[in-house]
Amino acid sequence: MFFKVLLNLTIAALVLYIVVKFLSMLFDQVTFWVTSLEEKKRRYLLGGFGIFLIALPWLTAGNPYLLRTILIVGIYIILALSLNLIIGFAGQLSIGHAAFYAIGAYTTALLTVSLGLNFWLAFILSFVVAGLFGFLLGVPILRLKGDYLAIATIGFGEIVRLALINGGDITRGPAGIPGIPSPSIFGFVFNDNISWYYFIYLMVVITVIISYNLLNSRLGRGLIAIRDDEIAAEAMGVKPSYLKILVFTLGAALAGIAGSIFASYIHYVNPDSYTYLESVTMLMMVVLGGIGSIPGVIVGAAILAILPEMLRTVELYRFAIYGLLLIIMMIARPEGMISMTSLRGGKKPSWQFLKLGKLLKPSED
């Protein structure tokens, strides 16, 4: 068994290395092509993509399974983008993001099921409560640097999960809370995937716009300055603690929204959905796509949300592969598939890798 697994993982490592290298080239090409388009053509492209998004559920009408996957992808895009605000913009490594996702989900569950509140009120309160937790946690721990912060956030994630399991009658322990109602608006109930699709992707679009607006604002510049060089940022009048807490709160609140949506969509919450590995998955999405790069993070979220569906046969190996992928990404492509620098255009990338016999470079394991 030991050697069989070892062999499988070695093969997986080689395959992953090649895939990462290949995807890097592919994404470089595509990114270069898009960034070098004229402004007008880019608008058309964006418009076309918008129409595609609107039409998407009708294109998949025959396949509920596919549409469901697309919905899950949407939820992960919100999560990954919200984490990207913290990791990508402010440069603060957080590996406990599932905690805020859980807080949002449980807030909605408790308010709708236990208190019988209207979904939309619960939805807004999930945003507020998750943000509040983000703020309360952020104030003490955002003073920590890099890896220390990461470990403190892991600790927070574990504490939240333990609290959910040991929450007695309130959280109903490992069994969780079933029976969360679907939202409805003016008597129209969201009970099919198509209405869910529009709701979720509306939230995705809002999250994307928020991300861009923040990035291109005074605050966004302050954040990037902190990420690039905190000491210089402070010397230029940027107050890091304020911005870090602000963005941590916002990221947490948006994850809370994702949690609220997810809870209501599957009508059920339990602690198993919000583990450390869930936080790691979100981190992986950001890293794979490109830390700080909004299109990158969207692509990363899509790839990693779809991949498990495609890898059902090797489901057991899923997280082992994530672990390998994280290492290989760091070695072969730390900036992610669509990095912030590649989005600024530059030289035309080449297909170097395919020409060279570099395929046989088994130094990564």
> Does position 2 bind other proteins by CB under 8 A?
yes
Residues 114-143 that bind other proteins (CB under 8 A): 140-141, 143
Pick 192 or 315: Cβ nearer other proteins: 315
State the minimum distance, in angstroms, from the CB of residue 9 to other proteins: 7
Q: Which of 81, 177, 203, 246 binds other proteins (CB under 8 A)?
A: 246
> Does position 85 bind other proteins by CB under 8 A?
no
State the minimum distance, in angstroms, from the CB of residue 2 to other proteins: 5
Straight-line distance from the first to the last Cα atom of the chain, in angstroms, rounded to the nearest whole number: 19
> Does position 303 bind other proteins by CB under 8 A?
no
CB atoms within 10 A of CB 198: 14
Pick 316 or 354: Cβ nearer other proteins: 316
Residues 205-234 that bind other proteins (CB under 8 A): 210, 213-214, 217-222, 224-225, 227-229, 231-234
Residues 50-79 that bind other proteins (CB under 8 A): none
Cα distance between residue 89 and residue 233, in whole Å: 14
In sequence order, what are the residues at sequence separation of 6 or more whose Cβ sits closer than 8 angstroms to the Cβ of residue 56? 70, 197
CB atoms within 10 A of CB 197: 22
State the minimum distance, in angstroms, from the CB of residue 300 to other proteins: 14
Pick 204 or 238: Cβ nearer other proteins: 238
> Does position 146 bind other proteins by CB under 8 A?
yes
Report whether 276 contacts 158 (CB < 8 A).
yes
Angle between helices 240-266 and 218-228 (to 10 degrees): 110
> Does position 35 bind other proteins by CB under 8 A?
no
Residues 160-179 that bind other proteins (CB under 8 A): 162, 166
Angle between helices 240-266 and 119-141 (to 10 degrees): 150
> Does position 325 bind other proteins by CB under 8 A?
yes
Report whether 298 contacts 290 (CB < 8 A).
no
Q: Which of 72, 75, 80, 95 binds other proteins (CB under 8 A)?
A: 95
Q: Which of 156, 197, 199, 262 binds other proteins (CB under 8 A)?
A: 156
Give 178's strand partners. 268
> Does position 83 bind other proteins by CB under 8 A?
no
Cα distance between residue 62 and residue 64, in whole Å: 7
> Does position 327 bind other proteins by CB under 8 A?
yes
Residue span binding other proteins (CB under 8 A) among the ranges 114-122, 170-178, 185-193, 236-244: 236-244
Report whether 193 contacts 68 (CB < 8 A).
yes
Residues 271-300 that bind other proteins (CB under 8 A): 276-277, 280, 283, 287, 292
> Does position 144 bind other proteins by CB under 8 A?
yes
> Does position 334 bind other proteins by CB under 8 A?
yes
Report whether 3 contacts 354 (CB < 8 A).
no
> Does position 238 bind other proteins by CB under 8 A?
yes
Sign of CA dihedral 248, 254, 256, 259: negative
Which tokens go with 267?
């009508």
> Does position 331 bind other proteins by CB under 8 A?
yes
Pick 117 or 154: Cβ nearer other proteins: 154
Q: Which of 116, 179, 187, 237 binds other proteins (CB under 8 A)?
A: 237
State the minimum distance, in angstroms, from the CB of residue 184 to other proteins: 27
> Does position 93 bind other proteins by CB under 8 A?
yes
State the minimum distance, in angstroms, from the CB of residue 74 to other proteins: 20
In sequence order, what are the residues at sequence separation of 6 or more whose Cβ sits closer than 8 angstroms to the Cβ of residue 325? 16, 20, 284, 288
Report whether 14 contacts 362 (CB < 8 A).
yes
> Does position 358 bind other proteins by CB under 8 A?
no
> Does position 330 bind other proteins by CB under 8 A?
yes
In sequence order, what are the residues at sequence separation of 6 or more whose Cβ sits closer than 8 angstroms to the Cβ of residue 127? 104, 253, 254, 256, 257, 260
Cα distance between residue 243 and residue 331, in whole Å: 31
> Does position 9 bind other proteins by CB under 8 A?
yes
CB atoms within 10 A of CB 139: 14
Q: What is the DSSP string of 187-251?
A: TEE--SHHHHHHHHHHHHHHHHHHHHHHHTSHHHHHHHHHHH-HHHHHHTT--HHHHHHHHHHHH
